[in-house]
Amino acid sequence: MKAARLRPGDTIGVVSPSWGGPAAYPHRLDNAVAWLESRGFGVRVATHARGQDGFVSGSAEERVADLHEMFADPDVRAIIASVGGDHSCHLLPHLDFDLIAENPKVFMGYSDITVLNVAIRQRTGLVTFNGPAMMTDFAEYPEPFDYTIRHFERAVCTGEAIGRIEPASLWTEELLDWRTKTDLTRARELSASPGWAWLRGGAGEGELIGGCLESLQHLRGTDVWPEMDGRLLFLETSEEKPSPAKVDGILMDYENMGVWDRIDGLLVGRPMYYSDAEKAELRAVIERRTAGYAFPVVTDMDFGHTAPQFTLPLGCVARIDAGARTFEVVEPAVE
C-alpha cells in the first residue's frame, strides 16, 4: 500500500508521538513550519504536538488521538514527526490500524519513530518513511541541507523510483545549543565525508525494513516485530551512543533470533558522536557478528542520526551491490 505523492499546496500534519520537544524548544518547530510553508506546503500542527507531560508530549491517549486525527483528516496528505524520543511504544496498544489502512498517506520520522514506522508497515502494509523530522532537519539554519531535501522530495514527491543514492560529500554532527538559541546564529560546520564503508562483498535485493537499533528493541516479542525474510535490513544508533559492546550484544541477539539467516543485506547508518577509534571498533563488531553469512554489508551511510540524510521507504524494494559499490531503491515509494 502506497500513499499518493506529495504536491505543493498539500497540507502536512505534525505530530509528537514521543518526546515533548516542541514545548522545550518551540523555535525549532516554528522554523520548520515556516520553511515548509515557504515551499508552498500547508502545515497543521496537531492539538497536543506542542504539549509537555513530563518527558513526553502528552498522555498516550492524547498522542494517539493526534495521530488518528491526522490520518482521518482528508486535507492532510502527509504526517511528519516533530522529533523522536523513547516512548512511541506507549501508543502501540491504542493504534487503530484499520483507520490508518483506510487513509494511506505519507508518514515520516526516524529515531524513536522507528516504532511507529515498523508497526504501521507490519500491520497495514503501508509504505512508511525513515526520513527527516521537523525539529532536527526541516528546522536547520538558515535552511535545510540540500542533500536532505533532494532525497526527501525524490522519495515522496515524484511518484518515480528513487533510484541510485550516492553518499553525501559533506556531513556534520556539530551541536549548536538549542537552549541558548545558538542554532539561530550560524549554520553548522560541515566536514568532508569519507564515504560509506563496504565491509562485505556480494549483492542483495529485497524490501527495506529497519530503523534505530535501540528503538527496535521496543518491538521484540510483539506482534509488530517485522518480517525479515528476503529483506534489506537497515540499522543505526542514536545520539545516546550505545557502546560497541552494547551493540555487540544486540547483534548477537539478532543472530540468536535467526535474523542473519533471513536477510539479504545489511545497511548501517553513520554513528553519531563516536570517535574514529570507536567507529573502527563498531565496524569490527558488525563484521564479527555477521561473519559466516553471505549477505553484503555497508556501514557509515547517510541516514538516521546524521546530517544531511537520505530518506528510506520501508517496504520498497532496494538493491545493494558491494562489488559495484551501489545502492538504489528500484520502485516508487508513493503513487
Distance CA 81, CA 14 (A): 6
pLDDT of residue 71: 98
Distance CA 223, CA 220 (A): 9
DSSP state of 307: B
Distance CA 297, CA 306 (A): 19
Grid cell locating 114: 522507528
Distance CA 279, CA 72 (A): 43
Distance CA 221, CA 247 (A): 19
Distance CA 188, CA 172 (A): 7
pLDDT of residue 41: 98
- Are the C-beta atoms of 270 and 171 separated by less than 8 Å? yes
Q: Which among 135, 128, 130 has a CA at the least distance from the CA of 104?
A: 128
HSE (side-chain half, CA atoms, 13 Å) at 314: 33
pLDDT of residue 150: 98
pLDDT of residue 185: 97
DSSP state of 189: P
The pLDDT tens digits along the chain (335 residues) read 999 999 999 999 999 999 999 999 999 999 999 999 999 999 999 999 999 999 999 999 999 999 999 999 999 999 999 999 999 999 999 999 999 999 999 999 999 999 999 999 999 999 999 999 999 999 999 999 999 999 999 999 999 999 999 999 999 999 999 999 999 999 999 999 999 999 999 999 999 999 999 999 999 999 999 999 999 999 999 999 999 999 999 999 999 999 999 999 999 999 999 999 999 999 999 999 999 999 999 999 999 999 999 999 999 999 999 999 999 999 999 99
pLDDT of residue 204: 97
CATH for 170-332, options being 3.30.1330.10, 3.20.20.100, 3.50.30.60, 3.40.50.150: 3.50.30.60
Distance CA 270, CA 221 (A): 27
pLDDT of residue 309: 98
pLDDT of residue 27: 98
Q: Where are the domains of the chain?
A: 11-163, 170-332
pLDDT of residue 224: 98
CATH superfamily of the 11-163 domain: Murein tetrapeptidase LD-carboxypeptidase, N-terminal domain (3.40.50.10740)
pLDDT of residue 21: 98
